[in-house]
Amino acid sequence: MKTNMKPLPYEWLLEVINISTLPTVIVDQEGLVYYLNKAYCDILSVNLDDAIGQPVQEIIENSRMHIVAKTGKEELEDIQPINGTVMIANRYPLIIKGELVGAVGTVMFPNPDDLRQYKNKVQQLIEELKHTRTNTIKDLNSNYTFQDLMGSSPVFQSVKQFAEKVSGSDSSVLLTGESGTGKELFAHAIHNSSLRDKYPFIPVNCASIPADLLESELFGYEDGAFTGAKKGGKKGLFEIANHGTVFLDEIGDMPFSMQSKLLRALQEREIKRVGGQNLVHVDVRIIAATNRDLEKMVEDGSFRQDLYYRLNVINIEVPPLRKRKEDIEFITNKLIKKLEGKFYRQGTSISSEVLEKFQQHSWPGNVRELENVLERTLNVLDSQTIQVEHLPLYIRDAGDVERRINKATRSERNSPDKSPIDMSPDSVQPLKETLASAEKEAIKHALSIADGNKLTAAKMLGVGKTSFYEKCKRHGIN
């Protein structure tokens, strides 16, 4: 570039760099300090003469100038801690006449006042985030009330009324019923209409916490209780829930050894942290839930009888959807309304044939299954009305494929299927295909009931994990 400018004298240039408020460093291609302006010298408390010629990373903490001098790639707005202070670094390659000769770097926020303001701002954001997060967790956790429990059939209404009546008591509640019937929702609603509603509702899924961690999760641990234990120990969920409710979900999956410890805690209203000596008094109400037959488990010795009695002071049995078919239409419409918000839709309805299919289907996954089916359908629906062809095959063929699945999978459905059998020759497929399609449907069905959880689905179908994954792959299910 040709200009009329006279070359700036060297001293002037240096002074310009010095006057500039930004701490600035110049390194050569080897990453040795070529120049450090006054502002930078002040921050680092070094003499310019001591710094010159030294490797930059020895003069400036966490410097990457020597790297930029090699790569020629600029690095902007990088966080760089110096002397325990967070700085924002900009690093530029120094290219003179097309040749990479070194690098220039500046850092920002060296002014303590700026930094303090910046820190306050970040701190404020962190507080806001914490606050939002706590509220979200509270929303997720415990804002359900009895009003949110959908169903107007007499059987559902009477269960709901009973639950409402006992919510004020401090006695343990055992919620039983198939998967997806709303046991967890009931637990929330009971807590929220109890006197404990200002205190925490703490859900614990006994099936998903590894057996050897369950005790420390529930009761906490003392400092040094085991390797990897947090310093100072940790409160358990019972202590966190103090004055509130602990919801022990899938209680039927609680390991036997843990059952005794839980029983003791319930009897004594005291817990002992893992690795600790002292007993801590806790005041919690227990709501437990399971879809397993605890009475049978007591009989065959896999569940402690005394614990069963402790938990089963109040038993609430949530009825499956197929035993309250009157509710299906109402719940479907409510769920559609809810899902419409999620998919930005309006005015979605179902055809009468779909309703009929829904009435015929036995809903082993109950409301959760209905919700999943509707969500999947709405997700791809390009018209206003849900028709039979939009439904998953196993519901479309409620009656036909259903029957095959029922035979192929362990299923304890007891509603007899009344739909007519297709007598035309076309309805007969080669056995291999029929079996394959039944297998595929059974897998999709199990997955939908298990909420997409492959391990659970495999367990329900009584096949191993590996074989389940293979089958999914073969049928193109992911």
Question: Considering beta carbons, is residue 184 or 327 the nearer one to Mg ion?
Answer: 184
Give one DSSP letter per residue of 142-206, joined into a string: H---GGGS---SHHHHHHHHHHHHHTTS-S-EEEE--TTSSHHHHHHHHHHTSTTTTS-EEEEET
> Minimum CB separation from ligand ADP for residue 164, in Å?
14
Interface residue with ligand ADP, options 184, 222, 402, 441 (CB under 6 A): 184
Binding mask 287-306 for ligand ADP (x = CB under 6 A): --x-----------------
Q: Cβ closer to ligand ADP: 183 or 191?
A: 183
Smallest distance, Å, CB 265 to Mg ion?
22
Binding mask 366-405 toward ligand ADP (x if CB under 6 A, else -) reads: -xx--x----------------------------------
Tokens of 261: 């410890």
Q: Give the residue, chosen from 91, 183, 361, 390, that forms a contact with ligand ADP under the rule CB under 6 A.
A: 183
Output the CA–CA distances (angstroms, integers) from residue 102 to 13, 19, 30, 34, in the order listed.
17, 22, 8, 9
| Distance from C-alpha of 207 to C-alpha of 212, rounded to nearest angstrom | 12
- Rank residues 23 and 177 by Cβ distance to ligand ADP and give the closer one: 177
Closest CA to 401 of 373, 435, 376: 435
Dihedrals phi, psi of 394, to nearest 5 degrees = -65, -20
Nearer to ligand ADP, 250 or 397 (CB): 250
Q: Which residues contact 267 (CB under 8 A, 6 or more apart)?
A: 310
* CA-derived radius of gyration, the chain: 33
C-beta closer to ligand ADP: residue 142 or 181: 181
Return the residue matching tokens 């097309």: 98
Q: Which is nearer to ligand ADP, 35 or 247 (CB)?
A: 247
Asked whether position 185 contacts ligand ADP by CB under 6 A, the answer is yes
Whichever of 310 and 368 has its CB closer to ligand ADP, that residue is: 368
Partner touching 181 among ligand ADP, Mg ion, none, CB below 5 to 8 Å by kind? ligand ADP
Phi, psi of 17 (to 5 degrees): -65, -35
Taking CB under 5 A as the rule, which mask of x and - marks residues 161-190 in contact with Mg ion?
-----------------------x------
Closest approach of Cβ 442 to ligand ADP, in Å?
A: 20
Instruction: Name which of 102 and 252 has its Cβ closer to ligand ADP.
Output: 252
- Spatial CA neighbour of 63 closest among 43, 79, 51: 79
| Cβ proximity to ligand ADP, 183 vs 440, nearer residue | 183
Cβ closest to ligand ADP, residue 114 vs residue 139: 139
Judged by CB under 6 A, the stretch of 49-57, 262-270, 364-372, 377-385 that binds ligand ADP is 364-372
Residue 397 makes contact with Mg ion by CB under 5 A: no
Task: DSSP for 237-254, please give it.
Answer: HHHHTTTSEEEEETGGGS
Between CA 308 and CA 189 the distance in angstroms is 23
CB 48 within 8 A of CB 37: no
Among 106, 179, 216, 448, binds ligand ADP (CB under 6 A): 179
SS3 12: helix
Minimum distance of ligand ADP from residue 188's CB (angstroms): 8
Report the run of H or E that residue 378 belongs to, with start and end.
helix 366-380
> Strand, coil or helix: what is 392?
coil
Element (H, E) at 370: helix 366-380
Residue ranges in 112-171 that form contacts with ligand ADP under rule CB under 6 A: 149-151
- Any contact of residue 182 with ligand ADP (CB under 6 A)? yes
For residue 222, the partner it binds in ligand ADP, Mg ion, none, with Cβ less than 5 to 8 A by kind, is none
Token pair, residue 343, equals 């998919």
Residue 471: CB minimum distance to ligand ADP, A? 25
Span from 2-10, 279-287, 363-371, 386-394 in contact with ligand ADP (CB under 6 A):
363-371
Alpha-carbon distances, residue 306 vs 115, 264, 292, 295 (angstroms): 61, 10, 17, 12
Task: Write down the least CB distance from residue 140 to ligand ADP, Å.
Answer: 11
Q: What is the contact surface with ligand ADP in residues (CB under 6 A)?
A: 149-151, 177, 179-185, 289, 367-368, 371
Q: What is the contact surface with Mg ion in residues (CB under 5 A)?
A: 184
